[in-house]
Amino acid sequence: MGRLDKKVAVITGAASGIGAATAVRFAKEGASVVVADLNAEGGNAVVARCAAAGGHACFQRTDVSQEADVKAAIDRALTEYGRVDVLFNNAGLGGAIGPIDETSVEDWDKTQAVLLRAVFLGMKHAIPAMRTQQSGSIISTASVAGVRGGAGPHSYSAAKAAVINLTRSVAIEVAPHNIRVNCICPGGINTPLIHNRIPGGEEVAAQFMAQIQPWPRAGVPDDIANMALFLASDESNFVTGAAMIVDGGFTAGGSTLQGQVRPLPPMMGFSGPSFESVT
């Protein structure tokens, strides 16, 4: 018996990082998974990993900033598996980077479209099916940048704070239908979105991240997948409207930075999906 037996999950941004780890974890626990992402190569690789873990999965090319694509991902779950039990709004990017007075309106809006509007769109299109079933769990990836200043770029931080409060307000609306709505606030998680963009890659990122919170190691995608699994399972039946912080104590104790690793170099411009370069 798996913790998600007979459940169907749609996971956005599932081709790498947190989304990929969660898709495989869900599949191992008995869920059928729609792997929704722009990255077809990575997405199909995750589908293969889910199958190797004994689960069922399919890839759906999805640009989460486009309403038609988000609706299509939900429809794919309904067509392929007959229901939607879990939606994990996870797709993300760094977005607009740099001083507020040097941030373009275009980069600001592109960031908000992926990090905030996409969460709204996922909720909008998953809730009708969940309401019909009178059950469901919606999970969104927020961030510690949404709960404290200085933890992320400006547009990113604003979007993540909005995701937290959108989670709370929608949770109240849909609670009578047995639909739970929660979000996860990761701290420093070493994913391709981060380590693909710094000199030295994953190893240097891990060394740096091990110093930004009291817990003496970098966060890894499985740390967030574990929380997502709890929120997707019936074990969290009485949990809704919550922002679950998974940050190694960052928001409790702040940065330690007691080692010898230098801070990562500042970036400017726009940081897109993990398989694209910084522009």
What is the pLDDT, as a whole number, of residue 275?
Answer: 55
Which structure tokens are listed for 2? 């798996």
Over residues 145-201, the pLDDT tens digits come to 999 888 789 999 999 999 999 999 999 999 999 999 999 999 988 877 665 556 566
Q: pLDDT grade, residue 218 (50/70/90)?
A: confident
Rounded to the nearest integer, the mean pLDDT of the chain is: 90
* Beta-carbon contacts of residue 106 (< 8 Å; ≥ 6 apart): none
Q: Are 210 and 218 in contact (CB under 8 A)?
A: yes
The order of strands in the sheet holding 86-89 is 56-61, 32-37, 8-12, 86-89, 136-141, 179-186, 243-246
Over residues 236-278, the pLDDT tens digits come to 999 999 999 999 999 997 655 444 344 444 555 656 665 554 4
Give bridge partners of residue 183 from the DSSP assignment: 140, 243
Q: Are 205 and 265 in contact (CB under 8 A)?
A: no
Catalytic site residue from 156, 208, 215, 270: 156
What is the pLDDT, as a whole number, of residue 186?
Answer: 96
CA distance 35 to 223: 19
Three-state secondary-structure class, residue 30: coil
Mean pLDDT of 140-145: 96
pTM listed for this prediction:
0.90
Find the angle CA(73)-CA(156)-CA(149) to the nearest 5 degrees: 140
Give 210 or 39, the one with higher predicted confidence.
Answer: 39
b or e along 58-68 (b: 16 or more beta carbons within 10 Å of the residue's beta carbon)? bbbebbbbeee
Kindly state the DSSP code that residue 258 receives in the 8-state scheme: -
Report whether pLDDT(144) > 90.
Answer: yes
Three-state secondary-structure class, residue 265: coil
Give 48 or 256, the one with higher predicted confidence.
Answer: 48
Whether 81 is catalytic is no
For the 8-195+219-252 domain, the top CATH level (class) is alpha beta
Packing angle of the helix pair 154-174, 105-112 (nearest 10 deg) = 30
Please, what is the end-to-end C-alpha distance for the chain in angstroms? 46
- The residue count of the chain comes to 279
Residue 243 main-chain phi, psi, to 5 deg: -110, 105
Q: Classify strands 86-89 and 95-97 as parallel, antiparallel or unpaired.
A: unpaired
Percent of the chain that is helix, strand, coil (3-state, to 5): 45, 15, 35
Question: Computed from CA positions of residues 242, 246, 249, 254, in that sequence, does the dihedral angle turn out positive or negative?
Answer: negative
What is the pLDDT, as a whole number, of residue 198?
Answer: 60
Q: pLDDT grade, residue 26 (50/70/90)?
A: very high
Over residues 53-104, the pLDDT tens digits come to 999 999 999 999 999 999 999 999 999 999 999 999 999 999 999 999 999 9
Find the angle CA(195)-CA(201)-CA(203) to the nearest 5 degrees: 105
What is the pLDDT, as a whole number, of residue 264?
Answer: 43
Domain residue extents for the chain: 8-195+219-252
What is the pLDDT, as a whole number, of residue 259?
Answer: 42
